[in-house]
Chain A
Amino acid sequence: MKPPNGENMRSPLSRALGLGSAKAGVGQWWRERVSALALVPLTVWFAASIIMHTGSDYVTFIAWLRTPIVSLLMVLLLAGIFYHAALGLQVVIEDYVHSALKTLALLGMRFGCCGLAGAGILAILRIAFSR
């Protein structure tokens, strides 16, 4: 005789565990908000700095980038931008891509964000530590 809950003796709870949201969605929601909050002062500082360097030549711009506080803020800005972009683009892809391409698009987007963040941070460090 079959047990009432299906073909085996597993309880309804054990079959449900591991499926569904598992309360992980709220983590992504929080990470989006926290990174947005961090990016408000960082991006406003960056925009103001770029305005003030509109007329600067290469030497002046590099000298500014090399100051320790600017290098630090630029590294934080790049990390924040691509962390926040990856979270946002993930939601966009999950909303509109329903085919088998979804996983591929998510992978490509994440690799792209990591690669660009790495390239940007490396460029800042090269400028900061060059003689």
Chain B
Amino acid sequence: MTNSTPKRMRPLSPNIQIYRPQLTSVLSIANRISGIALSLYAVVLVASLVAAAAGPQAYSNIHVFMGSRVGRVLLFGGTFAFFLHLCGSIRHLIWDAGHGFELRTIYASGWMVVLVSSALTIITWIAGSVWAR
């Protein structure tokens, strides 16, 4: 017996580079990523409010940027991140209350999060374009 054990690189679990992505794990990390993204969008919210308080000119600059192609893509991403995080959090709150831990229920609620957050994102943008007229 030599001292070979400490030097050997053993795989660490979970070995994510060979794991097939599952709905459960993807939604888990998606909730975290959308949360980080929403923190950045909160900075945009504060910037818009500060601009609105500063006056019409500063506000108009922000408004023009939001209306540009880059601004619209960013806002669309923000809308999806918001609804994904909202639905994912409600799923988590139901788990925290002690419900929905059966494997079938976990997958059903997971697909519901994907479906509802996508639908709400699209509905929001349709409603926004209707109101903009």
Contacts and interface: CB of A to CB of B under 8 A. Distances in A.
Interface of A: 33, 36-37, 40, 43-44, 47, 51-55, 58, 61-62, 65, 74, 78, 81-82, 85, 88-89, 92, 116, 119-120, 122-124, 126-127, 130
Interface string B46-61: 1001101100100110
17 contacts: A47-B79, A51-B128, A51-B131, A52-B131, A53-B131, A58-B63, A61-B59, A82-B42, A88-B36, A89-B39, A119-B50, A120-B46, A122-B53, A123-B46, A124-B49, A127-B52, A130-B53
Contact of A120 (B36, B39, B50, B79): B50
Query: What 9 pairs between A and B have smallest CB-CB spacing?
Result: A123-B53, A123-B49, A120-B46, A55-B132, A54-B132, A126-B53, A54-B128, A85-B39, A123-B50
A116 B128 CA distance: 27
A106 to B, nearest CB: 14
Contacts of B127: 51
Nearest to A115: B46
B93 A36 contact: yes
A131 B97 CA distance: 47
A122 B54 CA distance: 11
Q: Is the interface of B mostly helix, strand, loop or mixed?
A: helix
Given A119-B50, A123-B46, 19 more contacts: A37-B93, A40-B90, A43-B82, A51-B128, A53-B131, A54-B132, A58-B60, A61-B52, A78-B46, A81-B42, A85-B39, A88-B35, A89-B35, A89-B39, A92-B35, A116-B42, A120-B49, A123-B49, A123-B50
A39 to B, nearest CB: 8
Interface of B: 32, 35-36, 38-39, 42-43, 45-46, 49-50, 52-53, 56, 59-60, 63, 79, 82, 86, 89-90, 92-93, 96, 124, 127-129, 131-133
Contacts of B45: 78, 81, 120
Given A36-B93, A120-B49, A89 B36 contact: yes
A61 B63 CA distance: 12
Nearest to A52: B131
Contacts of B50: 119-120, 123
